[in-house]
Structure 1
Amino acid sequence: MRRAVCSGSFDPVTNGHIDIFERASAMFDEVIICVFHNVKKQAFFPVEERVRFLREATRHLSNVRVASFSGLITDYMKEADAHIIVRGVRSVKDLEYEQNEAYMIRHLEPDIDTIFLLTRPEYSFVSSSGIRELIRFHGDVHGLVPACVAQAIENLEQERK
């Protein structure tokens, strides 16, 4: 079985992420979306809520499942018996960062490969950090995030009033 992992903090998941998951699901027998707790970032949504968003936004993909993990990606890859990581790349800056991450992973586990998928142009400006900024300043996120995330953001806005 060809199994791949798409890992990230997904705080929140965007339509750009969903596009990468859809394309990866067409390439592999199984795709695991793994939500990692990123110690470098202050989380906006709790891990459990991000997992829920991802499950709802990918339920149309029968070969995709969602998990969460805290630790090294290489440890998760062993646990999941997976050898391919799929990463979306929006820009040269993203590629440089992801390339260094892939080299470190390869150093730790030589049998793990990383595949980069270029983001579609219509999502090249969309990032989770950009979405969080829109949320903070009450910007419109519709069309940039899955409907379940947009609804959760609307609910937050209502609670703030």
Structure 2
Amino acid sequence: MSNPLSSRVAVYTGTFDPVHLGHLDIIARGSRLYDRLVVGVGINPEKTTLFSIEERVRLLEEVAAPFGNVEVKAFTGLAVQFVRGLGAGVMIRGLRTLSDMEYEFTMSLMNLNLDPGVETVFLMAKEEFSHVSSSLLRQIAALGGDLSKFLPDPVKGPLVRRARGS
């Protein structure tokens, strides 16, 4: 039986609060591997975000604009249902550390149980991004640290202003 989902369309989901150069690297690499890449901006009930979902989508649209086959969409609910709803057959996940691997491996098995037609593809973070996380960047911004090595230019100002409450 053939799979009605497209293996040429991939979806990269996350909270992206804020989007950083590690995320952008995964987006760039994913856009080269697939005909179409949808970046799904979601809500994680276990996380408190600094930016609204609309702000995160707008920032992602700005930094992903150079990639002609990438689009950004907000979603609610389960990521695997969002992927299925787009007709995609692949969910991309970035891995930075062994603890990421454990969490993502468990999540990929659950997603496979929820929808056996959606495969998870893991992309390893480049070494220069393996320690970068949105939560650490929010902390650095709040305390006045240098963010230039971690964030795309359009994200720096909004993050610093929001993190410092201005």
TM over 0.5: yes
Q: Does 1:25 align with 2:42?
A: no
2:97 to 54, 79, 91: 91
CA displacement, residues 42-89 of structure 1 (integer Å, 9 cap, x when unaligned):
111111111011001110000000001010112211210011011110
Give the aligned partner of residue 77 of structure 2. 71
Provide the rounded CA distance (Å) in 1 between the counterparts of 2:29 and 2:80. Answer: 23
Q: CA deviation at 1:159?
A: 6.2
What runs of 5+ residues in structure 1 fail to find an aligned partner? none
What is the aligned-residue identity percentage?
Answer: 36
Query: Do residues 117 (structure 1) and 123 (structure 2) align?
Result: yes
TM-score (norm 2): 0.92
Matched, 1:135 2:146: no
Say what the alpha-carbon RMSD is for the aligned residues: 1.4
Distance 1:79 1:139, change over 3 A: same
CA deviation after TM superposition for structure 1 residue 158, in Å: 7.8
2:14 paired residue number = 8
Aligned 8 A contact 2:142 2:163 in 1: no
- Choose from 1, 13, 38 the match for 2:44: 38
**Distance between the aligned counterparts of 2:160 and 2:101, measured in 1?**
33
Measure how far apart 1:154 and its partner are.
3.9
Q: How many residues in Structure 1 have an aligned counterpart in Structure 2?
A: 160
Per-residue deviation at 1:136? 2.2
Q: Are residue 55 (structure 1) and residue 61 (structure 2) matched?
A: yes
Amino acid at match of 2:11: V
TM-score normalised according to structure 1 size: 0.94
Q: What SS does the aligned partner of 1:101 have?
A: helix
* Equivalent position amino acid for 2:44 in 1: N
From 144, 148, 154, the equivalent of 2:154 is 148
Instruction: Report the secondary structure of 2:50's partner residue.
Output: coil
Shift of 1:135: 2.0
Stretches of structure 2 that go unaligned for 5 or more consecutive residues are: 1-5
Distance 1:158 1:92, change over 3 A: closer
**Segments of 4+ in structure 1 off by > 2 A?**
153-160
Secondary structure at 1:83's aligned position in 2? strand
Paired AA for residue 113 in structure 1: E
